[in-house]
Chain A
Amino acid sequence: MRRVHKAVIAAAAIALLGTACTGTSSAPKASDDATKDTTITFWHGWSAPSEVAAIAANVKAFETAHPNIHVKVVGNINDDKIKQALRAGGPNSPDVVSSFTTDNVGTFCASNVFADLKPFLDKSGVDLDKTFPKPLQDYTQFEGKRCTLPLLNDAYGLYYNKDAFKAAGIAGPPKTLSEFDADAKKLTKAKGDSFSQLGFMPNFHGFESTTTHFAAQWNPTYFTADGKSNLAADPAFGKMLTWQSNLVKELGGFAKLEKYRATFGDEFGAKNPFHTGQVAMSIDGEWRLGMAKEAGAKFDIGVAPFPVPDDQADSYGKGYLSGTIIGIANTSEKQNAAWELVKFMTTDTDAVVSFANAIHNVPSTLDALKSDKLVADDNFKVFLEIAQHPKSSTTPASPNGGAYQLTLQDFGYAFEAGKQTDLAAGLAKTDAQINKDIAQAK
């Protein structure tokens, strides 16, 4: 008996020790030596020559600072490729991965595709609150698990055609949604049964005019504390959908707007309807500035924060935030070396600023946002301010990625088209569907 007792006590002690080791230690599990000569693979999604060149310059700066770590860069990677590669593993799978889709952070963290970065942050003494704005910290973690960090930021604002504003006798950009609606109507010019110019394309298929981008102006709460969908309970969603569907009606109705939308060129091509003057106002990210210039837009471009609901006029200046995220593959056997690259790209102020300057994105760290080296004209400064506005917000991570946003968007399509008229019942049904999808994912 005594032997049995001893064995039980020894086993319990080992188990406790093991639990203690795995549960509280902040030491990274990786065992590679980041000071020795090594090569890591970095996957990213950029594909335009200027963007690829910017990444190459950033990586070169890293290799200069870390001569023992060589980086093999693979570009033009989307999330589907990332997921398949990390699932399959193998010698050619990446060590460091970046993605444009913040919506997938929940999936990446929940399924342990990406390594937990907390031990690495602790090892390097990175204080997140002193490094990154709060919304960016939010969209790079899931349920307290930090598996990614922000790598440049995207802020959404209002683009407007100053020449069209002048012609319509509008002095400046609207600040509230009632002003915005009035301007959108003033800027709309009919041509036959269509338009020669539309003030604004409110339809949810109108590129960046999505439910989530609009909803940010009401600072909504997507989930309750226990992770249940909160669309019906939070009046923000109902107000957003009511405002949007009213504007759809006021501008000519869903069918007429959809027909006009079919004449638009590619969102990311030169024939984007804002570039061509088909729409006078547009909700978009900071990248549109560079794209509009490259496309040779023949009018003076104005930029402002997207208007806010009339009863929240004091919060004017806020907007929706998103961005690129970066993490370390859980399957990587060179996680310490990979961390050196991630740390450099996400926290080194000069690296962040030079990269932001090169690809015209908003920097993702507090220091970089204030850096003198940041090249920013008056238009770009608007986005820097949106990014730092205390009421700017993002969409939360979910275990099945952005599925809940698509479910909300689906309801938005039906509501704007008048196929669903009971707003409260529709939102409740959407809540139920989101909850079912999350239960399936858990």
Chain B
Amino acid sequence: MMATISVGLRHKRRRERLRNLAFLSPWLIGVSVFFLYPLISTVYFSFMKYDGFTPPVWTGLKNWKYVFTDYPFFWPALRNTLWLVIVMVTLRVIFGLGIGLLITKVKTGAGIFRTLFYLPYLAPPVAATMAFAFLLNPGTGPVNNILGKIGLPQPGWFNDPSWSKPALTLLAIWGIGDLMVIFMASLLDVPMEQYEAASLDGAGAWKRFRHVTLPNIQPIVLFAVITGVIQTMQYYTQPLIAGKVASGVIGGSGQQFEPGYPEKSTLTLPQLVYNLGFQRFDTGGASVIALVLFALAMVFTAFLMRRGSGFLATDD
């Protein structure tokens, strides 16, 4: 009798396991095909000489050594990527939150303002970058014309290595619409009674923001920072187009363009992955850089999650 029950239980448990696996299978297939396989392949190719046509050949640490010690673009690209992660992400979050806050306060014509601030986000990155390159042209651009007329210095923007990343940051802030909408939604969710209680306790605007708004939206801030870091780690189109337009190399099919103009200041790690892997046929070297990017994204995310876990816990 006992044996019959235990066999029945085993069958039931097996069926449950199979059912669970069946439900999990889309995720398992997705993770295996789109995450594990590419990751393992990238690690494998980082130790190979592989051009995509001839069979891969084991070269040990040669690709790693080349990227870290001999490839002159790696360290500038890493520095630029880190600069953009720290400065651009911070400013995007500050401006996104600031504009979100302002718009939630607007009583008349809020829809118009929301639309106006959201619209730039819809502009395709290539078109938006070309428009900015036109506006910020140091010789003929309207921005420098205006700056000159009011007696302010006229930066070289995309043509000056010390101004090219700030110019890219301006472009990123202009397209802040996505963050603004997310922040607006979270700000509207903050319970009004908390503001009323704080006001009764004599809290001013800054104290209400610091002690009511911020604790309530901290998970959203964390989300914005982490997704911002990951997006910036993949930053490719805007610096490439800005460099091409500013350097004058935009249309000639026979022209070679090396990303990073001016003076490697707009070079990012994803550009190097493309440059090595798809232009120089150096899949091995490109794999090394892709793994560096992956490791960086993991480190940043883990750090932010750890720092942010306190924020998230306040909601519990």
Contacts and interface: CB of A to CB of B under 8 A. Distances in A.
Interface string B130-156: 000000011110000000000000001
B236 interface: no
A206 interface: yes
B226 to A, nearest CB: 32
B263 A413 contact: yes
A262 B53 contact: no
Nearest to B159: A262
Contacts of B280: 107, 400-401, 403, 441
Contacts of B159: 258, 262
Interface string A86-107: 1100000000000011110001
A262 B140 contact: yes
B151 to A, nearest CB: 16
A436 B256 contact: no
Candidate in B52, B54, B62 with the most chain A CB atoms within 10 angstroms: B52
Contacts of A100: 252-254
B12 to A, nearest CB: 48
B294 interface: no
B139 A262 contact: yes
Contacts of B71: 437, 440
Contacts of A403: 280
Contacts of A305: none
Contact of B53 (A112, A205, A402): A112
Interface stretch (A10-18, A264-272, A371-379): A264-272
B14 to A, nearest CB: 43
Interface stretch (A76-84, A216-224, A240-248): A76-84
A80 B261 CA distance: 20
Contacts of B256: 101, 103, 402, 405-406
A260 interface: yes
A267 B247 contact: no
Contacts of A437: 70-71
A437 B279 CA distance: 13
Contacts of A207: 248
A274 to B, nearest CB: 13
7 tightest CB-CB pairs across the interface, nearest first? A262-B139, A100-B254, A263-B139, A100-B253, A436-B70, A87-B52, A45-B253
Interface of B: 51-54, 62-63, 66, 70-72, 137-140, 156, 159, 246-254, 256, 258, 261, 263, 278-282, 285
A206 B255 CA distance: 13
A261 B138 CA distance: 10
A263 B254 contact: no
Contact of B279 (A83, A113, A262): A83
Nearest to B144: A262
Interface residues of A, number: 50
A147 to B, nearest CB: 12
Given A80-B278, A101-B254, A111 B51 contact: yes
Contact of B258 (A330, A406, A433, A440): A406
A159 B92 CA distance: 48
9 contacts: A84-B278, A100-B252, A112-B53, A113-B53, A205-B247, A263-B139, A400-B280, A409-B258, A440-B62
B252 to A, nearest CB: 6
Given A112-B54, A260-B139, A83 B251 contact: no
Contacts of B52: 87, 111
A206 B278 contact: no
B53 A267 contact: no
Contacts of B247: 205
A410 interface: yes
Given A107-B281, A263-B137, 13 more contacts: A78-B253, A80-B279, A83-B281, A205-B247, A258-B159, A262-B137, A262-B156, A267-B249, A400-B282, A410-B258, A413-B263, A436-B70, A441-B281
Nearest to B254: A100
Contacts of A407: 72
B135 to A, nearest CB: 13
A209 to B, nearest CB: 10
A264 B54 contact: no
Interface in A198-228: 205-207
A440 B138 contact: no
A266 B138 contact: no
B138 A267 contact: no
A72 interface: no
B40 to A, nearest CB: 20
A322 interface: yes
Candidate in B137, B139, B156 with the most chain A CB atoms within 10 angstroms: B139
Contacts of A60: none
Given A80-B278, A83-B281, A101-B253, A262 B51 contact: no
